[in-house]
Structure 1
Amino acid sequence: MTENRTPEQKTTRRRKVQAVLAGGLVLGVGAAVTLAAWNDSEFAEGLFGSASFNLEGSTDGSDYDEHDTAAEAAQLTFAADNMTPGQTVYAPFYVRLDADTTINGTVEASDGIGVVSSSGENADHMSYEVYADPDNCNAADASSGTSVASGADLSTGIGSTTTFDLTAGDGAAGTPVLLCFEVSASDDDFVQADTTEVIWEVTATSVDTP
């Protein structure tokens, strides 16, 4: 059955159709913009491994160990049981970077070697000097090394005067450095029947590598 519409009804229907078509066109434009938006990404990762650095010491140049605290200090062997005024005694101590160390190091002037504690009356009446890499650690050869630390007495303080280097090995322990400790009793004020104890600290610092 044919529906008879008035001219006003026909005009209203046309407007509705046009509105829907116009809406369809707007939606079509919107869809086209969305489809045109592309993006892509790249990712980069960094891995950072830290080096290993460890100092070890020996009193005989053969058996090395870690002496990390004053309580674990290596016992230097001085011929010092019966010292008299003006006498000088010597003891060797070897230091090196251990086999796991992967970077070089240095023992710096001003804070590399120093007295951390001492006791006994003669601590104020004994002086010391430390030589690096002498031919031997004795009266004849100690001064053939480089003087790297000294102190007018054995009281607490820093005595380093010269920097020296420590070289890491390639999968092995580094080259050892012989430190010769020279201790001298005062000529005038040295006290009889006294036992003096002193602990030195040797501090190595890692060296940055490129």
Structure 2
Amino acid sequence: MVKKQNQRKVLAVLAGGLVLGVGVAAVLAAWNDSEFATGTFTAGTFNLEGSSTGNAGYSDHNVDDGDTAATLAFTLPTGVVDSMSPGDSVYAGFWVRLAAGTTTGADLVADGTTADAAAGSNSEYLSYSIYQLAPGATCNAASAIGTPIATGATLDAQTGTTTVALLEGADTTTAGAAVQLCFVVTADAALEQGLATTATWKFTATSTN
């Protein structure tokens, strides 16, 4: 009888041990661990600037933001007096580039033009074309050839726009390569004497990235 009672105690202890083991396993299964990741997102910068000389003097000329438009230095061909007559064409270069710190390339388009009211000016008797020139070219009759990037039958109209690619600088302290645009304004036979006419062209650059 003693042996049977001892055997029952041993079995009872083993049974208790089994229950204890299950309890330990349940505690281990409740452990957990987590990982977290964070990211900081900094926007790049984007700025188009222009110059009427191409050598220096690049700055912002965004009339929409309150800046003053760049003044184009139109010149008549050699041998023509310093005033326009019917059939004359005048030429002016304008350089655009992406400012230092700009972090993406851009597509540039001529984005409209405004001119003095026709009632008191020659805006309806002056047409224009704008060409993209090769690096180092001079804006004149010899270089203003090919397909223009924009045209207007009058100074307050625009047709035929073509995109101009602009590249960002090699690093954040370097401006992108400048592109020269050549403006050609031509007077038609109805040009009225003595009138001064002012036109303003708008260009818009849109980031490509």
Output the amino acid matched with 2:116.
S
- Please identify the structure whose Cα radius of gyration is greater: 1
What is the deviation of 1:142? 1.4
Output the amino acid matched with 1:78.
F
Aligned residue runs from structure 1 range 38-187, under 5 A:
38-63=31-56, 64-69=58-63, 72-79=68-75, 82-108=83-109, 112-119=110-117, 120-134=120-134, 135-143=137-145, 146-155=147-156, 157-171=157-171, 172-187=174-189
- TM-score, reference length from structure 1: 0.74
Runs (4+) off by over 3 Å: 29-36, 116-120, 157-160
SS, match of residue 124 in structure 1: helix
Could you list the per-position Cα deviations for residues 166-199 of structure 1 after superposition, in whole angstroms to 9, with x for gaps in the alignment?
0111121111100000000112x21111110100
**Does structure 1 conserve the Cα–Cα contact (< 8 Å) formed by 2:115 and 2:197?**
no
User: How many percent identity over aligned positions?
Assistant: 45
SS, match of residue 92 in structure 1: strand
**Would the alpha carbon gap of residues 139 and 35 (structure 1) be closer, same or farther in structure 2, given more than 3 Å must change?**
closer
Could you list the per-position Cα deviations for residues 136-186 of structure 1 after superposition, in whole angstroms to 9, with x for gaps in the alignment?
201122115x4101000011x444521110011112111110000000011
Q: Which residue of 2 aligns with 1:195?
A: 196
Q: Distance in 2 between matches of 1:152 and 1:42?
A: 66
Could you list the per-position Cα deviations for residues 114-153 of structure 1 after superposition, in whole angstroms to 9, with x for gaps in the alignment?
2034344210111000000143201122115x41010000
Q: Distance in 1 between matches of 2:200 and 2:94?
A: 13
**Would the alpha carbon gap of residues 36 and 115 (structure 1) be closer, same or farther in structure 2, given more than 3 Å must change?**
same
What is the deviation of 1:38? 2.1
Could you list the per-position Cα deviations for residues 35-82 of structure 1 after superposition, in whole angstroms to 9, with x for gaps in the alignment?
742222111112212111111111111121111216510000113652
Give structure 1 stretches of 5+ with no counterpart. 1-28
**RMSD of aligned C-alpha atoms?**
2.3
**Does structure 2 conserve the Cα–Cα contact (< 8 Å) formed by 1:107 and 1:205?**
yes
